[in-house]
Every structure is written in structure tokens, then in C-alpha cells.
Amino acid sequence: MTPRLAIKSYQDEHRPHAHTFAQLVLPIQGGMELELEGRGGTRLHTGLAALVAPDCDHAQRSAPDSRFLVIDCAADWLPAQTLDQALRQPGLPIPPAARQLLAFAELTSAATLAQHASDLTRLLLHSLTVTAPTSAFERLLVRVEAQPAGSWTNAAMANLAGVGLSRLHLLFHERFGQTPQAWLTDLRLRQAQRWLADSRLPIVEIALRVGFSDQAALTRAMTRRQGISPAAWRRSQRPPE
């Protein structure tokens, strides 16, 4: 079976059902409540995907404005250990590499997705099943990079990393030479620049998607840190006519 990829939205609640193939569900926007074999409790979001094993009864409920990349593939595309784990715990953290692949998929036409389904599936599966970060700080970085638009206060980051505020600042200074919020701003700006270059989305929507309160906040941050506005930067990325 050749993998099938599609960007989908699910309306209302879907009753329990099963597939003969494995299904990977990766949130692009919003989230989903997933129930497996009558057991609820898995909440998918833009930092957590789900792998539904073949012949596993499942039901889901999501908001109408949620969007997902859904991959249907044969079981032999996945390691047996990964499938066994999916029956117990379907959740798979979405690392930064997978988020970039998701961004590519969202900007790609359905025909191109179909043409490159096997290659994109292989890359996504690899990025989702690589060795997980070993420290709480590494897990924090992965989570924030996967969800840059989250409400990442210093307190929220410190709590996720299991450290105090002073220790959090020290960790960021040792790794990046920046404060946590300066690092977060640069992360959001890099993501905004990718959207500006690779999409036709309005600047205001890009600003909200990457975590700025409005277009003016994105413009102030980008002009202050990089000396150029989002509109001017977008124009600079266009090929000369």
C-alpha cells in the first residue's frame, strides 16, 4: 500500500471505527480528543501527534477549525515496537523537524502531496521516532520549538523544565547566550520569515500563528532585531522580474 496523505478537518464527533492500515494524525491547527478501544484521555495538539494501529477501534472529536495532516500507510512502514507502543500509548511528540515537514505539507498542493507521499511519509516517521531528548531542558526546547505560539512565560518554561527562574536563565545563557524571552522572540521571527517566504498568507495571520499579538507586534520585533519590516523582508525574497 502506497501511503496516502491529506490535509483534513473533522466535523463534530466520529463514532468508533477501525482501519486495516495504520493512521498517523498530526495536528496543524487546533486539537483532537482521541479515544482508543474505549479508553479516552489522549489530547492531540500541535505538539503531539497520534499513531493509530491497524484494526484498533478509535473515535475522535475535534473543533471545526482544527486541521490535521493524516497519513494512511501499511503496517510494514512502521517498526513492530512502534506499533505495539501505539496500542498502549498512541501519542507521539512532534519535534521541530516534523513541524517543518508539516509546514511544507500545508503549503503544498494535493497533487504534489500525492506525488511525494512516500518520501514525505518516510521523513515524518523518522523524525517522530528518533531518540527523545534526555533532559527536561531539552524536552522544553523541543516543546517550545514545536509550539512557538504558545503562552511561553518564563514561569511556564521553568515549570516544564522543572527548574526555578534563576536556573532557567542560566541554562539559556549557557546554551544560547540569551534570555529565555529573547530566544523565544528569535524563534518566532525565524518561523515568521519561513511563512513570509513560502506562503501568501496575510502578515497579520502569520503574526498570530507564530505567537505575536498582532501584526504591529511582529513588525516592531522584526524591525528592532533585524532592521527590516515583514513586508519589506517578504518583498526581498521574491525573485526579480
* CB-based contact 134:113 (threshold 8 Å): no
Q: Which of 52, 58, 73, 66 is nearest to 8 (CA)?
A: 66
The alpha carbon of residue 21 and the mean position of all alpha carbons in its chain are separated, in whole angstroms, by: 23
pTM beyond 0.75, yes or no: no
User: Could you read off the pLDDT of 106-151 as tens digits, one per residue?
Assistant: 888 888 888 888 888 888 888 887 655 568 888 888 788 878 888 9
Q: pLDDT tens digits for the chain (241 residues)?
A: 889 999 888 876 677 888 899 999 998 888 888 888 766 667 888 888 888 888 888 888 887 778 899 999 988 888 777 777 777 778 888 887 788 888 888 888 888 888 888 888 888 888 887 655 568 888 888 788 878 888 999 999 999 999 999 999 999 999 889 999 999 999 999 888 888 887 788 999 999 989 999 999 999 999 999 999 999 989 888 766 5
- The CATH 1.10.10.60 portion of the chain extends over 136-236
Partners of 73 in the β-ladder: 22
CATH 2.60.120.280 domain span(s) along the chain: 4-129
CATH class of 136-236: mainly alpha
Report the alpha-carbon distance of residue 211 to residue 152 in Å, rounded.
Answer: 9
Query: 115 CB contacts (<8 Å, ≥6 apart)?
Result: none
Sequence-distant (≥ 6) Cβ neighbours of residue 30 within 8 angstroms: 45, 46, 62, 63, 65, 66, 67
Please state the CATH superfamily assignment of the domain spanning residues 4-129 in this structure. Regulatory protein AraC (2.60.120.280)
